[in-house]
Structure 1
Amino acid sequence: MALIVQKYGGTSVATPEKVIEAARQILAARADGHEVVAVVSAMGGTTDRLLQLASSVSDQPDPAQLDALLTTGEAVSAALLSMALNRQGAASRSFSGAEAGIRTDDRHGRATIQQVDPRRLKEDLCRGAIPVVAGFQGEAGAGGPCTTLGRGGSDTTGVALAAALGADHCEIVTDVAGVYTADPRKVAGARRHTALLYEEMAELAVSGAKVLAADSVDYARTHGVDLKVRANHTARGPETWVGYRRRAAAMAMPGDSWTPAGLDEIPAIAGVATRTGLVRCVLRRITADHAVRILRGLAEREIEVELRRYGNLGTEDASDVAITLPAESVEEARTLLAEADGETRLGEVHWTSNLARLSVVGLGIGLLPGSPPRLLDALRSVGAARTDLLVTSNRLSVLTGESGLTEATQSVHDAFVHEPATPRIDTTPLWAADRRQLSAGVPALAAAD
């Protein structure tokens, strides 16, 4: 008998019917002899509606009160799922993040889990009950105010509880049947992976793939929690495993899934991912000291940025800085620049909006000389804008326009993802099982956008 943590996303509990189906799947796992702890997100669209409510009464809501408001979304889902389980004959009760023992730091809106005390969950499990935990939340120390973990925080809740409970694995139940080489709803020919390494999944997550939150993958990798991603309409359909080794998939469907190549072959392509809503800011001819002050100010305000270029233009004190940041952070960045301009006159400042970052992810892809030209050729073939090419060991990224992004993504996917290999349904690890054998790590998630 295994202990499994099942995390149900917002689309999986979006309606009463889906809540009842989630309860049925939990009970099916129980019937197979497993213990289950469920974690839930807010019902689809709830968080956005709560944010709109907050903005209707305050243009700058207090962060602590905003967290108090937002946590109610997951609390509703947890209570409803517990009711559905009780109605179907199982003993169950709901827990807030604090009641489940999740302790965080005190950063409202973007808290980090620092400790998990699962004793109350274990007590319920020993009584044969099914705990249902509200995701996305915790408390700032024992007895402190409620906090939220940021977008995708319910994934991190599920992984953290799996680690604390010593669960066999954590299931991420969502609206797609696993992790694909691209969003299968937008890209023709996208292939489902039977298994991925943490490093591959982490790169996909920070590149914009929404199937798993980046922080949850980092937590899983740090604590050795195996992840299984599956669809919410069935508990026994196709799936993708994520872990230190390529764990055998329980079900591989020819023509739908593939197992990437091994280390002795051409590096596998984990996928093509995009992130929209980006803005590029170019600061021309500013002093090095001034550039450092601006970058430090952005970091102190925790504005998410990626430094694209920093270079001297030929004179000792004139430099050129180009950064990208999310559109929602632009006004705060403009305020910072205005303050900096009062101290030392800024040079030229150029803003470009409606940008997207398109990335190709694969372990070792940046080490292949032909990869960057292939990416640029694929974009050029459809007339897509392209600038700020970034090459790392495991990722190629380029800025392009949001207009035409779908066509550009399809072209790049066609260029890098070919016919799938025959899925291998055995238990032999296909790649190295420990960190020492992985030649390239992933940049710190906190520093990536």
Structure 2
Amino acid sequence: MSLVVMKFGGTSVGSIERIRNVAKIVEKKKDKGHDVIVAVSAMSGETDRLIGLLKEITPDYSLREYDQLVSTGETACIPLVTQSLLVDGYDAISLTGLQIGMETDIAHSKARILNIRGDRIKQAISEGKIVVVAGFQGYNVETGDITTLGRGGSDTTAVAIAAAVKADVCEIYTDVDGVYTADPRIVKNAKKLDTISHEEMLELASLGAKVLQSRSVELGMNYNVDIMVLSSLEDKPGTLVTSKEDKNMERIVVSGVTSDKNQAKITLLGVKDEPGVAVKIFIGLAEANINVDMIIQNVATEDGKTDISFTVPKTDLIKAKAACEKLGKDAGVQEILSDENISKVSIVGIGMKSHSGVAATMFKVLSDNQINIKMISTSEIKVSCIIEEKFTELAVRVLHSAFITEKQNGQL
């Protein structure tokens, strides 16, 4: 017998019929003798509906009240799942983030988990109950306020609980049946992976792959939690995300190709080329809770000026430009340019550590297809390029063909 955390997303609980289906999946797991904790999201579309109501009142809403409102989506869903289990004769209990002791910082709408007390979970499990927990939500100890973990936060909740209670595995049930080498909607011959490392999955998630939220993968990697990605709609084998060594992993140079259209580029022209100037700019952006990705600084001109370009989430562009305008005077910024018509395409693979020429091949493939590269970022296991947004799907297809399809066919 093992302890299993099962997480179901909004699509999986999008209707009463699907909630009953989720209950059947949970019951099968319990019938096999496992102890079960279930983390669920709000019903599909509910969070967007609540945000829409808030925006009707004012687009400039309080983030505290945002958290107070949208957290009710999960709070409403967990009793429905629990009641379905109770009707079928299974002992179950629903618990909110507050009730399980999900302690977070006070960064409303994107809070980070500080601690999970988990006493009520452990007590309920010891009594043989199935525990149904609200994902996405927690609370701040100092203020007592409800907080939310940001989009995809239910994944983070599930993995954090698995780490806290030392579960044997965390199963993430979605509307897809695993992790693919690319988005199957873009690449028809994309392949499902049986296994992928936490390291690779973290890169894919942070670079635009929407199967798992990056913070959940980071938690899994830090606390050595195995994550199994499964379909809630079909009984099929999934993809195991693990830190356990697999010799076959290193044989595959590129495990996945992904893209992210939620990107915008800001260029600061005429910045003073002096020690500490860049520090002030990026500290200011960090204090505004703006996540900066790629950064490029040009060689300084004879008059001691330089240009700095960086990318931010498209949703943060207005806020980022406003922060730069405030910081611009001290930095000597002459002009602020922005470009929303960009996207990021990336290749990821742990095999890159032991293979040379991967970046060069990527650049050649894009060049051969008349796709211009605006910015480049690399690490040991990934290469990312900023390109024009209109070329996104083409870039993903040709890169997948070059690094994965042809590799499988023995042509690379």
Please give the range of the TM-score, normalised by the shorter of the 2 chains: over 0.9
SS in 2 for 1:209: coil
In structure 1, runs of 5+ residues without a counterpart are 248-259, 423-449
RMSD over aligned Cα atoms: 2.1
* Aligned position for 2:257: 272
Scaled by the length of structure 2, the TM-score of the pair is 0.93
d(CA) in 2 for partners of 1:50 and 1:198? 33
* Aligned position for 1:200: 200
d(CA) in 1 for partners of 2:226 and 2:138? 23
Partner amino acid, structure 2, of 1:200: E
Question: Alpha-carbon deviation of 1:170?
Answer: 0.4
d(CA) in 1 for partners of 2:261 and 2:165? 37
Task: Select which of 299, 311, 334 maps to 1:312.
Answer: 299
Partner amino acid, structure 1, of 2:375: D
d(CA) in 2 for partners of 1:342 and 1:311? 19
* Residues 277 and 354 in structure 1, CA contact (< 8 A), matched pair in contact too: no
* Residues 100 and 121 in structure 1, CA contact (< 8 A), matched pair in contact too: yes
d(CA) in 2 for partners of 1:196 and 1:344? 44
Question: Alpha-carbon deviation of 1:291?
Answer: 3.5
d(CA) in 1 for partners of 2:370 and 2:272? 36
d(CA) in 2 for partners of 1:184 and 1:400? 21
* Residues 249 and 350 in structure 2, CA contact (< 8 A), matched pair in contact too: no
Superposed, which structure 2 residues align to 1:20-39 within 5 Å?
Answer: 20-39=20-39
* Aligned position for 1:281: 266
* Aligned position for 1:146: 146
Partner amino acid, structure 1, of 2:360: P
Partner amino acid, structure 2, of 1:404: F
SS in 1 for 2:398: helix
Partner amino acid, structure 1, of 2:132: V
* Aligned position for 2:395: 408
d(CA) in 2 for partners of 1:198 and 1:316? 47
* Residues 285 and 313 in structure 1, CA contact (< 8 A), matched pair in contact too: no
Partner amino acid, structure 2, of 1:376: F
Partner amino acid, structure 1, of 2:268: L
Residues 152, 262 of structure 1: alpha-carbon distance in 2 compared, 3 angstrom cutoff: closer
Superposed, which structure 2 residues align to 1:199-238 within 5 Å?
Answer: 199-234=199-234, 236-238=235-237
d(CA) in 2 for partners of 1:223 and 1:292? 32
Partner amino acid, structure 2, of 1:58: T
Superposed, which structure 2 residues align to 1:172-187 within 5 Å?
Answer: 172-187=172-187
Question: Alpha-carbon deviation of 1:381?
Answer: 3.5
d(CA) in 2 for partners of 1:221 and 1:211? 16
* Residues 230 and 237 in structure 1, CA contact (< 8 A), matched pair in contact too: yes
Residues 313, 112 of structure 1: alpha-carbon distance in 2 compared, 3 angstrom cutoff: same
Confirm whether residue 50 of structure 1 aligns to residue 39 of structure 2. no
* Residues 104 and 111 in structure 2, CA contact (< 8 A), matched pair in contact too: yes
* Aligned position for 1:376: 363
Question: Alpha-carbon deviation of 1:285?
Answer: 2.2
Superposed, which structure 2 residues align to 1:10-409 within 5 Å?
Answer: 10-141=10-141, 144-234=144-234, 236-245=235-244, 261-263=248-250, 265=251, 267-288=252-273, 289-315=276-302, 317-343=304-330, 345-365=332-352, 368-409=355-396
* Aligned position for 1:431: none
d(CA) in 2 for partners of 1:387 and 1:63? 35
SS in 1 for 2:114: strand
d(CA) in 1 for partners of 2:372 and 2:15? 41
d(CA) in 2 for partners of 1:407 and 1:414? 11
Question: Alpha-carbon deviation of 1:341?
Answer: 3.9
* Residues 365 and 394 in structure 1, CA contact (< 8 A), matched pair in contact too: yes
d(CA) in 2 for partners of 1:148 and 1:159? 16
* Residues 321 and 336 in structure 2, CA contact (< 8 A), matched pair in contact too: no
d(CA) in 1 for partners of 2:389 and 2:259? 10
Question: Alpha-carbon deviation of 1:231?
Answer: 0.6
Question: Alpha-carbon deviation of 1:316?
Answer: 6.6
Of 331-340 and 359-368, the range deviating more from structure 2: 359-368
| Percentage identity across paired residues of the two chains | 33
d(CA) in 2 for partners of 1:367 and 1:283? 37
Partner amino acid, structure 2, of 1:41: S
d(CA) in 2 for partners of 1:211 and 1:344? 40
SS in 2 for 1:417: helix
Of 51-60 and 13-22, the range deviating more from structure 2: 51-60
* Residues 109 and 150 in structure 1, CA contact (< 8 A), matched pair in contact too: yes
SS in 1 for 2:405: coil
Residues 32, 348 of structure 1: alpha-carbon distance in 2 compared, 3 angstrom cutoff: same
Question: Alpha-carbon deviation of 1:162?
Answer: 0.9
SS in 1 for 2:298: strand
* Aligned position for 1:250: none
SS in 2 for 1:84: helix
Residues 403, 164 of structure 1: alpha-carbon distance in 2 compared, 3 angstrom cutoff: same
Residues 351, 137 of structure 1: alpha-carbon distance in 2 compared, 3 angstrom cutoff: same
Scaled by the length of structure 1, the TM-score of the pair is 0.86
d(CA) in 2 for partners of 1:142 and 1:173? 34
Residues 326, 338 of structure 1: alpha-carbon distance in 2 compared, 3 angstrom cutoff: same
Residues 174, 381 of structure 1: alpha-carbon distance in 2 compared, 3 angstrom cutoff: same
Question: Alpha-carbon deviation of 1:175?
Answer: 0.9
Residues 366, 305 of structure 1: alpha-carbon distance in 2 compared, 3 angstrom cutoff: farther
Of 312-321 and 225-234, the range deviating more from structure 2: 312-321
d(CA) in 2 for partners of 1:280 and 1:176? 31
Residues 160, 309 of structure 1: alpha-carbon distance in 2 compared, 3 angstrom cutoff: same
d(CA) in 1 for partners of 2:327 and 2:199? 38
Residues 421, 385 of structure 1: alpha-carbon distance in 2 compared, 3 angstrom cutoff: closer
* Residues 163 and 223 in structure 1, CA contact (< 8 A), matched pair in contact too: yes
Partner amino acid, structure 2, of 1:275: D
Question: Alpha-carbon deviation of 1:345?
Answer: 4.4
Partner amino acid, structure 1, of 2:86: N
Q: Deviations over 1:283-329 (max 9, x none)?
A: 22210354332222111111111242113324373122010111221
How many residues matched?
A: 407
